[in-house]
Amino acid sequence: MKMEPSLAVVQALGQKPVYRPSELFGPAGSRATAYRFIRRLQELGLAAETQRRGHFTVRSSAFQPYQTLVHLLPSLHTLKHARYFGRAYDESDVNYARRSLRGMVTLDYRAYELTRFQTPRTFFVYAEDPDQQAKSLRSAGFSEGSKGRVAILPKEDSAFENEIQRVYLDCLAFGGRSTLDAIAIELLYGDRLSVRGEFPTDLVLKVREDLPA
């Protein structure tokens, strides 16, 4: 399967906290092509502009092998359309969402239920009707914004039959600290996974060491 040119270029640069568009000019062949590649990465849900003008970030999942990345596209698309809500911006928001929202829980809180590995922060839930769920939260005094601890994800037609695989792929796609959750899930439920990521050996050893007995 042919790799996306935009991914090939950013993978060649290596993983960094932030990037400048000018770093892509040479590998991409031109300034115009570099900006086209950045837009493509944004479309895929792999890149985002930072508050610091002229810089952008790339999810760590962009550095997974391409044969793994293609399985992350549904998760990346869903995460790109996540809607965040907050009221008190603490655990009480999560407790309310647990009681009132219907749908499959994924990422932080579901990963913690599966692994007991790291403290969750954001409550992610797949919703059959995101607009209705959002309306319900707003009527309860929640505001929509990027800092909310409750996140509504649109449920699409990707496979949900294997819940552990779905949570694993979501964690892998999200990247960052969720990568550690993905590793923990793989260590504990590897026999339930048909698609797996690749991780640095030292990171896997660290997670194995820190997993509760």
Question: Given pLDDT bands bounded at 50, 70 and 90, which one contains residue 85?
Answer: very high
Handedness of CA 138, 112, 156, 64 (dihedral sign): positive
pLDDT reading at 53 higher than 90: no
Residues 104-118: pLDDT tens digits? 999 999 999 999 999
pLDDT band for 133, please (50, 70, 90 cuts).
very high
Q: What rounded mean pLDDT belongs to the chain?
A: 93
pLDDT reported for residue 159: 58
Domains of the chain: 5-58 (1.10.10.10), 66-210 (no CATH)
43: which 2 tokens?
Answer: 């479309």
Question: Quick check: 153 and 82 in contact, CB under 8 A?
Answer: yes
Query: Are 168 and 188 within 8 A, CB to CB?
Result: no
Cα 71–chain centre separation: 13
Q: What is the C-alpha separation between 56 and 53, in angstroms, rounded? A: 8
Task: Report the distance separating Cα 84 and Cα 91, nearest Å.
Answer: 14
pLDDT in tens, 35-49: 999 999 999 999 998
Q: Report the pLDDT value the prediction gives residue 2, as an integer from 0 to 100.
A: 62
Average pLDDT on 84-94 reads: 98
CA distance 55 to 148: 24
User: The pTM is what?
Assistant: 0.93
